[in-house]
Amino acid sequence: MISSINAFIMKLELWISQIRKENFTHFPNIEDEFTKQLVNKNHYVNEFAMVLEKIMNEFNNRFSDFKKITILCSFFVSPFMDVDIENISEEFSKIFDVDRRKSQIEIINLKNDITLKLHSNVNMWKFMSQEKYPILIDSYQRILSCFGSTYSSETSFSSMKMIKSQYRTRLTDDHLGDCMRIAISLYEPEFEIIASELQCQKSH
């Protein structure tokens, strides 16, 4: 989503610049109308450019928070790329209110973790140790939660309502979290394999 927003804003900047130079390459229909009507472009250049500038300003205002997390999102997508560790850790500290020193250590450990480098950048986060990388994993999950679809949110909320029924008044937050993870996960255990490995009757 961030990529799409940033790309659209950059396109707007390009279009505004081109229109002010009377270049309507990306607006062929407008160019055709000018040709058909024999209209002087100068009268409309500023008007079109101002409309696009208003759209760009609106996008910049509405999605201003995205600029704050763009660096972190890039890091989460490509964690092994060359980055300024002090700069990244400062962003972690500002946005997630975490210990800057600990985040620096986790980033350094991650960048030198040979085992994790065997996995793709996206799948890698599934194999990370919560004990070894608590700050990075928590921050990654919080970033992901920002971009949940409406369908996912509604499905999760419906599942939570079913789990937190009037008959389960003693449900703890930790237990609720476990139940929610099971309810919304697409993972299906290999029940046949699990059952075959169980010892049905213990020897005495």
Q: What is the pLDDT of residues 190-202, one digit of tens each?
A: 888 888 877 666 5
Proportion of the chain above pLDDT 90, given as a percent: 26
Query: Model-level pTM?
Result: 0.56
Q: What angle do CA 58, 14, 34 make, to 5 degrees?
A: 100
- The whole-angstrom separation of Cα 76 and Cα 70 is 10
Cα→Cα distances 200→67, 90, 140, 189, 204, Å? 57, 54, 41, 19, 13
Task: Tell me: do 96 and 58 sit in the same domain.
Answer: no
Question: Model confidence at 81, in pLDDT bands (50, 70, 90)?
Answer: confident
- The whole-angstrom separation of Cα 131 and Cα 45 is 59
Cα→Cα distances 42→46, 95, 117, Å? 8, 46, 56
> Which region among 63-77, 94-108, 127-141 has the lowest average model confidence (pLDDT)?
63-77
pLDDT of residue 150: 59
Task: Tell me: do 99 and 39 sit in the same domain.
Answer: no
Given a contact cutoff of 8 angstroms between Cβ atoms, the answer to whether 136 and 128 are in contact is yes
Task: Tell me: do 155 and 90 sit in the same domain.
Answer: yes
For 35-70, the pLDDT digits (tens) are 787 667 777 888 899 999 999 999 988 888 777 788
Please tell me the total count of domains within the chain.
2
Question: Domain for residue 21, yes or no?
Answer: yes
Cα→Cα distances 41→30, 92, 181, Å? 10, 49, 59
> Is 90 exceeded by the pLDDT of residue 11?
yes
If you average pLDDT over residues 118-124, what whole number do you get? 80
Distance of CA 116 to the CA centre of its chain: 21
Q: Which amino acid is at 18?
A: Q
Question: Model confidence at 204, in pLDDT bands (50, 70, 90)?
Answer: low
Whole-number average pLDDT of the chain: 84
Given a contact cutoff of 8 angstroms between Cβ atoms, the answer to whether 2 and 42 are in contact is no
Domain extent for 154: 78-163
Question: Domain for residue 12, yes or no?
Answer: yes
Task: Tell me: do 54 and 108 sit in the same domain.
Answer: no
How many Cβ atoms from other residues are within 10 Å of residue 113's Cβ? 18
Question: Domain for residue 15, yes or no?
Answer: yes
pLDDT of residue 151: 63
pLDDT of residue 62: 86
